Structure 1
Amino acid sequence: MRLIILGPPGAGKGTQAARICQRLGIPAISTGDIFRANIKNRTGLGQQVEAILATGGYVPDEVTNAIVDDRLTWPDARDGFLLDGYPRTAGQVAALDEMLAARGERLDAVLELTVDEDAVVARLLRRAEMEGRIDDTEVVIRERLAIYRRETAPLAEHYAAAGLLVQVDGMGEVDEVTERILTALRVGQS
């Protein structure tokens, strides 16, 4: 399966992506993880991304598109993948469509985790404390949520119009959310 998972920062996309991918036998491709690894290793890309993330902004499309295009060529993504954190903008949607079309592939579904915004802020502040993530201050979190609403949430409308959107309640216990997602995917495949 070729999937995208959407939802605001802190919706549990990374947690659910890992669980879904394990069950489906496909790789989870997280642009956030790729960026954080580059930051940790102090690469040129990492230093560029660190400065952007520190202000709550998003990495430019051309950088993100190139990273995703390269990652989709890896052998483990041949039979499917789940994209987490990409696409975030209409330009990235168009770029992804072009990447997939060039390979003779298409998306099977786009999952959208729906959550309560105040609960997400609290969740991200706890995660920041536990993981020492410098990009998760309350001011930055609220800016990232505003950017999500403005730039990324409209993608759900695009994918709904294309018949690909599967909305799932992202609130509750991790296992419950995973089962809701898997059930929704089975329903979407019938």
Structure 2
Amino acid sequence: MNHAALFRHQFWGEGTYELAVEVGTTDDARLQAVLDAVWGAAGAEGCYGDKAREPEEQEAVPRTVASLEEFGHLLGRVPLPSGELVVCDVTVVRGGDDSGDWLAFGVPLSALRQAGVEFEDGPHFRSAAADAWLAGIGQDAYREAPFSLGLVGWSVSGLTDAATLGGVLPEKRGMAYLLPSGGVLRYGAVND
């Protein structure tokens, strides 16, 4: 198996290239629906709780909100459009009374590099190929479990929210957006 698919060969602290979804409310059933929709749309395999052990060395855990809360993340493997298998993780930030939950599905930058995904030069990690792939996952997941907002890029979770955007895509975009409006999910690619 290649290193991109091994949990212990990742630099987890470097961050992930992710699809961050503003779920819309703080509700376990809604969060579970979005988790299932994103995991399924990605074609992710397995579900584990320990980054320090390979899947073959640990018991699978249920893909549930309770497991997310217990482990702080869920781990698996997902095929890139190239067919290369890479590790993936899901994390969640639970909202309070004035904000909703965020779910982030991502692949460590180290795994993407090991799989040959290219990034633009510059001060930010950007990849048009990774943006398109993750946006496609978000678009498929939205059909199963609508959400308030999707952001795609390097460590983008919570950088803005649906209320701030007011249904309008920013003219200059340093990350990609999936913004619902009138029941349609609009995609705004990176252009800045």
- The two structures share one fold, judged by TM-score above 0.5: no
More strand by share: 2
Q: Provide the TM-score with structure 1 as the length reference.
A: 0.34
Q: Which has the higher contact order (CA 8 A, sep 6+)?
A: 1
Q: Provide the TM-score with structure 2 as the length reference.
A: 0.34
More helix by share: 1
